[in-house]
Amino acid sequence: MRVPDDKIWVEVSQIARAPMDVEGEANGRLFALEHDPYVHQNGPVSYKIHVELAGQDLVVTGSAEAPLALLCGRCGRFFSTNVKISSFLRAYNWNDHPEVLDLTGDIREDLLLEVPPYPVCSPDCRGRCPQCGKNLNDGPCGCPPRPDWDEGSPWGELDNLGLGVPPEQSGDGPATKQ
């Protein structure tokens, strides 16, 4: 049997004689992420599969792992990570798959469920400057600090309560004629 390199196929026609253990690698193209803006495949999917016949059911257990590149939600850069599943479990009717069991879609699905909903390249990621857009992981940008974003300022709390100086009496009001 010639297996396409981006498929995870198990040849099950002889399964009645003994359980099967299959391990291998499949091309990361199986993720079909070419046009995904947030997740890219970054190498082959490695898998270890155990298949047993229980009545007419093919019971499949196993694990799989794949390197992916994810877009950091803070700094907008791709970073490499591995997604893993350690307890893949599915049952298939042998009558529906008498020769070959194609596990590609189900393993793909379980691996993609491991992608975090809000990936961050590192817990220390500094993100981007909201003013100039520079990636602050590369160093500070030189923008002046914005006092209204300074959570440490006691005046920020007062402003929020509306107890501050009315605008017309502050320096920000309309200029008076000299």
Applying CB under 5 A, does 165 fall inside the site for Zn ion? no
Question: Could you please report the per-residue DSSP string of 93-134?
Answer: EGGG-SSEEE-HHHHHHHHHHTS-SS--S-TT---B-TTT--
Per CB under 5 A, which region of 4-12, 125-133, 150-158, 162-170 contacts Zn ion? 125-133
The answer to whether the CB of 97 falls within 8 A of the CB of 57 is no
Specify whether the backbone of 76 is left (phi greater than 0), alpha (psi in -120 to 50) or beta: left
Applying CB under 5 A, does 138 fall inside the site for Zn ion? no
Residue among 32, 115, 132, 165 that touches Zn ion (CB under 5 A) = 132
Applying CB under 5 A, does 125 fall inside the site for Zn ion? yes
**Which of the residues 59 through 88 are near Zn ion (CB under 5 A)?**
72, 74-75
Residue among 32, 89, 115, 143 that touches Zn ion (CB under 5 A) = 143
Per CB under 5 A, which region of 20-28, 32-40, 97-105, 119-127 contacts Zn ion? 119-127
Length of the chain as a residue count: 178
* Beta-carbon contacts of residue 158 (< 8 Å; ≥ 6 apart): 164
Residue with Cβ nearer Zn ion (91 or 129): 129
The answer to whether the CB of 81 falls within 8 A of the CB of 122 is no
CA distances from 17 to 9, 20, 93, 140 (A): 19, 9, 17, 65
Residue with Cβ nearer Zn ion (81 or 104): 81
What minimum distance in Å lies between the beta carbon of 129 and Zn ion? Answer: 3
The residues binding Zn ion (CB under 5 A) are: 72, 74-75, 121, 125, 129, 131-132, 141, 143
